[in-house]
C-alpha cells in the first residue's frame, strides 16, 4: 500500500517540472543582453538597463510612471491599483509600435491607446530612436540606461509634448537652458530643440534631445563640467553629480520645471553671491575710475610732487583726505609701499607703471572669467557642510568657523609654498593634540638636514631634535613637545590622504605678511588656543572651554582631545569672493588653479595639459607617519657618510622650519 504523503510529493514535483519548462525557455531567451543599448539593438525593444545602472534605472522607471500626467495609460499588468505604473522588472519589454497587435493576441489593453493620436505617433518613433540611436543621443552610459527605463515606465509617452505640441514644462525648461550663462555656464552646451511644425520622427528626436540637454545641464550645474583631476591631482572633494533618475522625477513632477532645475545649483551662500555679482558685472560698463598712466610719482620731502591722479590713488589705497589735495606726500608713499609689498612688487614707495596696473586690477572681462571659474569650483565642494564647519580659503590665507549658518570666528593662516601647495579637500575634524611631537618627514631629513649633518654631526642636538636609529639603517628624527616645537603647542587633526593638518607655530612673525605661503603644505593658525576653544565648545558644549583653559594644558606631555561632534574641515580655493560689504574681492592665483580651471572650461571636455601631483609623503611634515621610514634604497648612514654629496647651505633651525 502506497504512502499518500509520498504520492503528494511526486505529484507536486511533476507539476513543478511542467511549470518550470516554459519559464526556463523564457529565461534562456531573455538572458543575452550585456548592456541596455545592446539589448535594444538585438531585441528591437526597450530593455531594462544592466549593471551598474540598474539601481538608477529602477528609480527612473518609478519616476517615469509618476511623471506620466500628460497622457495616463489605461490599466494594464504594469499598472498598480492606484493607477500609477510600477517599475518594470529587469528584462521587461516596453510597448512597441506593434503593441496593439500584441494586445489583441493577449487580450491585454494597448498601453498606447490612451494617448492622443499625435502623441501616440511620437511614442512609436521614440521607441524606434531608443532602439537604434540611444547611444548617439545619450553618450553618458548611466544617463542612457536611466532614460530608457524612464520612457519604458511611461509607455513611451512624450514628456515635453501634449497632443503633439510643446507643453508648458518644455517651455519652462527651454527658457532655463537659454539662461544657463547666469550660472556661468555656456548655453551652447545645451542645444534646445524646436518643436513647431515637425513630423512625428522629428518630434521624437526633439523630445529625446531636450531630455538629454536637461540631464547635461543638471549635471553641469551640480557637479561641474569636467573632473577636477584635470585641473590638479592635489584635490579630493566629493564632486557628486545628480542621479539622472532623480532629475527626471523632479522635473516631471514639478509645477515649474524651470525653477526645479535651479535646485541643482550649489546651495552655498558664496556661490549665490558670485552669481549675483556676475549678473551685476555683465550689466555694467567697465569702471571709468581707473588710475591713468602718467609720469612716475615719488616722494620729495622738500618739494612734494603734485598730480591729478593723487585723489583717486588716495581713495584706492583707503586713505582719507581732501579731494583737492594733489600732493604725493609721505603718507601716500608709505601706503604705496605696503601695497607693493603685499602684491610682491618692488617696494619703492613710488607710483610706477607696474603699481598702477596692480592697483587697477584685472580688466572687467578677466574679472568675469575669474568669477566664473570660482563658481565652477564651488560645484566640487560638498553640498551639505553640516551644522559646523572650519572653512579655509587658500588664496585669502584665511580660516573661518561657521556654526548653524553663522560665522562665529576667523583668523589668519599660513599655507603651503607654491611648489608644495596645500591641497583642496573635505574631511571631519577628529581630535586636537596638545603638546604635539613633531616627527620630521623623510624629505626634510634627506633634503635639508643630511647636508648639514655631514659637516656637523651635533647639529640636530643643538636644534632640539632627537634621533633614534633603526636596524634597517633608517632613522627616526623627532622634536619633543615644547615652546620651540615646529608644530607649536597645538595640532588640529583631520586625517586625510595628503597627510596635512593645522597647527600652532613658534614663527608668529609670519602672520604679519600679506602673502603667507611658506609651509610644506600644512596650515599654521595665528591664534590656535582660541581656535581650540571655538571647536571644543561646539563639540563638547557642556565643558566650558576657554583659550586660557587650553593654555593651562601646555607642558611636556602629549594629550589628545577627541571631538565627538561632526565639524567639517573644507580647504577651498576662492580667489574671487564677495566680502561682507558686498564688494568683489580678487586674490592672487597663487597655485595657478584658477588659470587651469579657466583653460579646462574653454577647452572641449576640459582637456588640458595633465597636472602634476605634489610630493605628499615626502614633502608634508606629519605626526601620522610611523617612525623609522627609510629613504628609498639608501640607508641614513650611507646617505650621511657614503656618497659625499656637495655641501648645502645650513638649514634653518626649528623655529624657522617651514611647515
Q: What are phi and psi of 273, to 5 degrees?
A: -65, -40
Q: Between 2 and 519, whose confidence is greater? A: 519
111: left (phi over 0), alpha (psi -120 to 50) or beta: alpha
Q: How many Å apart are CA 430 and CA 58, to the nearest integer?
A: 38
Closest listed residue to residue 171, CA positions, set 136, 142, 196: 196
Q: How many Å apart are CA 480 and CA 464, to the nearest integer?
A: 8
DSSP code, position 181: G
DSSP code, position 69: T
Instruction: Classify domain 384-437+480-574 by CATH number.
Output: 2.40.440.10
Contacts for 651 with CB less than 8 Å, ≥ 6 apart: 448, 449, 451, 452, 657
Count Cα neighbours of 231 within 13 Å in the Cβ-side half-sphere: 28
In contact, 475 and 469? CB cutoff 8 Å: yes
Contacts for 72 with CB less than 8 Å, ≥ 6 apart: 83, 114
Instruction: Give me the chain's average pLDDT, please.
Output: 80
Closest listed residue to residue 157, CA positions, set 245, 89, 85, 102: 85
pLDDT digits (tens, 9 = 90+) for 572-616: 999 999 999 999 999 999 999 999 999 999 986 666 666 766 554
Q: How many Å apart are CA 524 and CA 522, to the nearest integer?
A: 7
pLDDT digits (tens, 9 = 90+) for 125-146: 999 999 888 888 898 899 999 9
Q: Between 102 and 244, whose confidence is greater? A: 244
Count Cα neighbours of 307 within 13 Å in the Cβ-side half-sphere: 21
pLDDT, position 442: 73
Average pLDDT (91-96) is: 44
Closest listed residue to residue 372, CA positions, set 598, 193, 171, 158: 598
Give yes or no for residue 40 having a pLDDT over 50: no
Average pLDDT (172-193) is: 95
Domain ranges of the chain: 1-30, 35-265, 384-437+480-574, 440-479+616-645
In contact, 210 and 193? CB cutoff 8 Å: yes
Q: How many Å apart are CA 70 and CA 155, to the nearest integer?
A: 12
Cell numbers 515635453 correspond to 160
pLDDT, position 620: 38
By CB neighbour count within 10 A (0-12 exposed, 13-18 middle, 19+ buried), where does 577 fall?
Answer: buried
Q: How many Å apart are CA 558 and CA 434, to the nearest integer?
A: 6
Give yes or no for residue 625 having a pLDDT over 80: no
pLDDT, position 47: 35
pTM for the full predicted model: 0.73
pLDDT digits (tens, 9 = 90+) for 380-432: 999 999 999 999 999 999 999 999 999 999 999 999 999 999 999 999 999 99
Picking from 55-59, 486-490, 533-537, 561-565, which range would have the lowest pLDDT averaged per residue?
55-59
Distance between first and last Cα of the chain: 93
Q: How many Å apart are CA 246 and CA 242, to the nearest integer?
A: 7
Q: How many Å apart are CA 486 and CA 481, to the nearest integer?
A: 9
Q: Between 580 and 49, whose confidence is greater? A: 580
pLDDT, position 374: 98
The DSSP bridge partners found for residue 438 are 479
**Tally of residues, the chain:** 659
pLDDT, position 287: 58
pLDDT, position 632: 43
In contact, 412 and 515? CB cutoff 8 Å: no
Contacts for 505 with CB less than 8 Å, ≥ 6 apart: 414, 486, 487, 488, 524, 525, 659
In contact, 432 and 532? CB cutoff 8 Å: yes
Give yes or no for residue 62 having a pLDDT over 70: no
Q: Which helix (H) or strand (E) holds 576?
A: strand 576-578
In contact, 336 and 350? CB cutoff 8 Å: yes
Contacts for 98 with CB less than 8 Å, ≥ 6 apart: none
Closest listed residue to residue 94, CA positions, set 118, 60, 69: 60
- Measured from the Cβ of residue 487, the count of other Cβ atoms closer than 10 Å reads 28
Q: How many Å apart are CA 648 and CA 600, to the nearest integer?
A: 40
Q: How many Å apart are CA 635 and CA 642, to the nearest integer?
A: 10
Q: Between 94 and 594, whose confidence is greater? A: 594
pLDDT digits (tens, 9 = 90+) for 442-466: 777 777 777 777 777 777 777 778 8
pLDDT-based confidence at residue 97 (cuts at 50, 70, 90): very low
Give, in order, the Cα–Cα distances in Å from 155 to each of 79, 249, 390, 655: 11, 15, 49, 72
Q: How many Å apart are CA 546 and CA 534, to the nearest integer?
A: 8
318: left (phi over 0), alpha (psi -120 to 50) or beta: left
Q: Are strands 431-434 and 559-562 parallel, antiparallel or unpaired?
A: antiparallel
pLDDT-based confidence at residue 208 (cuts at 50, 70, 90): very high
Q: How many Å apart are CA 540 and CA 527, to the nearest integer?
A: 20
Amino acid at each position: 500500500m502506497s504512502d499518500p504523503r509520498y504520492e503528494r510529493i511526486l505529484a507536486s514535483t511533476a507539476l513543478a517540472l511542467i511549470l518550470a519548462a516554459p519559464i526556463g525557455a523564457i529565461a534562456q531567451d531573455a538572458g543575452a543582453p550585456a548592456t541596455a543599448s545592446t539589448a535594444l539593438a538585438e531585441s528591437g525593444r526597450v530593455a531594462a538597463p544592466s549593471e551598474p545602472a540598474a539601481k538608477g534605472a529602477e528609480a527612473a522607471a518609478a519616476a517615469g510612471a509618476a511623471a506620466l500626467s500628460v497622457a495616463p495609460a489605461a490599466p494594464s499588468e504594469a499598472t498598480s491599483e492606484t493607477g500609477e505604473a510600477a517599475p518594470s522588472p529587469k528584462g521587461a519589454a516596453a510597448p512597441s509600435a506593434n503593441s496593439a497587435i500584441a494586445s489583441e493576441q493577449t487580450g491585454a489593453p494597448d498601453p498606447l491607446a490612451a494617448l492622443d493620436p499625435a502623441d501616440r505617433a511620437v511614442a512609436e518613433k521614440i521607441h524606434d530612436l531608443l532602439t537604434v540611436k540611444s547611444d548617439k543621443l545619450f553618450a553618458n552610459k548611466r544617463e542612457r540606461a536611466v532614460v530608457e527605463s524612464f520612457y519604458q515606465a511611461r509607455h513611451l509617452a512624450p514628456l515635453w509634448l501634449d497632443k503633439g505640441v510643446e507643453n508648458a514644462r518644455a517651455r519652462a525648461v527651454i527658457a532655463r537652458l537659454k539662461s544657463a550663462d547666469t550660472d556661468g555656464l555656456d548655453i551652447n552646451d545645451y542645444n534646445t530643440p524646436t518643436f513647431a511644425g515637425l513630423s512625428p520622427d522629428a518630434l521624437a528626436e526633439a523630445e529625446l534631445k531636450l531630455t538629454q540637454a536637461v540631464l547635461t545641464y543638471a549635471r553641469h550645474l551640480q557637479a561641474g563640467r569636467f573632473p577636477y583631476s584635470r585641473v590638479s591631482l592635489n584635490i579630493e572633494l566629493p564632486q557628486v553629480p545628480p542621479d539622472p533618475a532623480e532629475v527626471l522625477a523632479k522635473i516631471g513632477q514639478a509645477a515649474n520645471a524651470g525653477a526645479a532645475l535651479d535646485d541643482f545649483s550649489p546651495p552655498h551662500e558664496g556661490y549665490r553671491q558670485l552669481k549675483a555679482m556676475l549678473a551685476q558685472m555683465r550689466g555694467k560698463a567697465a569702471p571709468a575710475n581707473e588710475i591713468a598712466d602718467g609720469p612716475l610719482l615719488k616722494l620729495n620731502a622738500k618739494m612734494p610732487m603734485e598730480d591729478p591722479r593723487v585723489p583717486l590713488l588716495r581713495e584706492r589705497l583707503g586713505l582719507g583726505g581732501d579731494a583737492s589735495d594733489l600732493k604725493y606726500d609721505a603718507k601716500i608713499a608709505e601706503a604705496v609701499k605696503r601695497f607693493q609689498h603685499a602684491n610682491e612688487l618692488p617696494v619703492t614707495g613710488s607710483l610706477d607703471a607696474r603699481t598702477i596696473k596692480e592697483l587697477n586690477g584685472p580688466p572687467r572681462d578677466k574679472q568675469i572669467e575669474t568669477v566664473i571659474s570660482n563658481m565652477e569650483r564651488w560645484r566640487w565642494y560638498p553640498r551639505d557642510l553640516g551644522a559646523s564647519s572650519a572653512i579655509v580659503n587658500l588664496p585669502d590665507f584665511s580660516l573661518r568657523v561657521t556654526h548653524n549658518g553663522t560665522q562665529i570666528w576667523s583668523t589668519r593662516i599660513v599655507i603651503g609654498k607654491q611648489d608644495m601647495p596645500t591641497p583642496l579637500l573635505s574631511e571631519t575634524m577628529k581630535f586636537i593634540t596638545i603638546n604635539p611631537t613633531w616627527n620630521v618627514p623623510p624629505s626634510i631629513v634627506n633634503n635639508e638636514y643630511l647636508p648639514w649633518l655631514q659637516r656637523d654631526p651635533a647639529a640636530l642636538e643643538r636644534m632640539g631634535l632627537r634621533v633614534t636609529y633603526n636596524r634597517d639603517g633608517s632613522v627616526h628624527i623627532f622634536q619633543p613637545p615644547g615652546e620651540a616645537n615646529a608644530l607649536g603647542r597645538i595640532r588640529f587633526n583631520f586625517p586625510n590622504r595628503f597627510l596635512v593638518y593645522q597647527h600652532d607655530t613658534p614663527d608668529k612673525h609670519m602672520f604679519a605678511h600679506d602673502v603667507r605661503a611658506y609651509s610644506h603644505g600644512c596650515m599654521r593658525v595665528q591664534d590656535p588656543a582660541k581656535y581650540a576653544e571655538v571647536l571644543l565648545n561646539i563639540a563638547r558644549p557642556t565643558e566650558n572651554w576657554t583659550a586660557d583653559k587650553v593654555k593651562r594644558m601646555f607642558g611636556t606631555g602629549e594629550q589628545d582631545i577627541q571631538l565627538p561632534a561632526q565639524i567639517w574641515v573644507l580647504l577651498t580655493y576662492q580667489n574671487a569672493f564677495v566680502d561682507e560689504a558686498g564688494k568683489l574681492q580678487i586674490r592672487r592665483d597663487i597655485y595657478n588653479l584658477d588659470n587651469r580651471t579657466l583653460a579646462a572650461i574653454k577647452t572641449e571636455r576640459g582637456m588640458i595639459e595633465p597636472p602634476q601631483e605634489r610630493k605628499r609623503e615626502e614633502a608634508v611634515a606629519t605626526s601620522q607617519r610611523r617612525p623609522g621610514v627609510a629613504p628609498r634604497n639608501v640607508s641614513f648612514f650611507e646617505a650621511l657618510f657614503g656618497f659625499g654629496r656637495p655641501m648645502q647651505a645650513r638649514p634653518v633651525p626649528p623655529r624657522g622650519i617651514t611647515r
